[in-house]
Amino acid sequence: MKKPDSLRAKLVTIFPELGTDPHRLRMWIEKGAVKCRASDPTQGENLSYRLDYTLTVVVEEWTRPSLLIWIVLLDWLRIHEPALLTAANARGLEFEADLIAHEKADLSFDLSLSEAVIATRRQDGGFDMRVLEEPDPLMPDTVPMIAGGQRLNSIWLDGSQLVPDPLGQAA
């Protein structure tokens, strides 16, 4: 599965402290399903399938404003699971927060993700497999969430720079 690795890479790139201590960013899948229509006579020998799963993400000992996690997550979802950002997702993105100390929390959220896999039979009896990218981002790349298609370099809140931490104090 590509999406958990992609999300981890995004979070660790923006918040390097999550990469230095692997216990602070944990992800797992407790429930998933493989959906294939191989028995459908209109599909021929098609063994292409879709993975549907719930990814649980836990960020421990978060000391920055929680607003930072959400903007980075929304930017990632825009490309990788845009359906979660539409009106059809009436519940929004649910989360839990354990406020363990002043300005320190454990955050967790579940993401309903899917990945389509194309399996093409080879003449030698094997299969070529390819995980498809999301076909329709919420906003096309011609309307990037980050101007000019630049990577996310900084986040500001009420006139103060939060990412990267200008004082190097992020824990």
Are 135 and 115 spatial neighbours (Cβ–Cβ below 8 Å)? no
Output the pLDDT for position 92.
Answer: 86
Q: How far apart are CA 58 and CA 65, in angstroms?
A: 16
Average pLDDT over residues 83-95: 85
Average pLDDT over residues 143-147: 48
pLDDT over 90, % of the chain:
46
What are the structure tokens assigned to 99, written together? 């406020």
155 — pLDDT class (breaks 50, 70, 90): confident
Are 168 and 91 spatial neighbours (Cβ–Cβ below 8 Å)? no
What are the structure tokens assigned to 137, written together? 């981002």
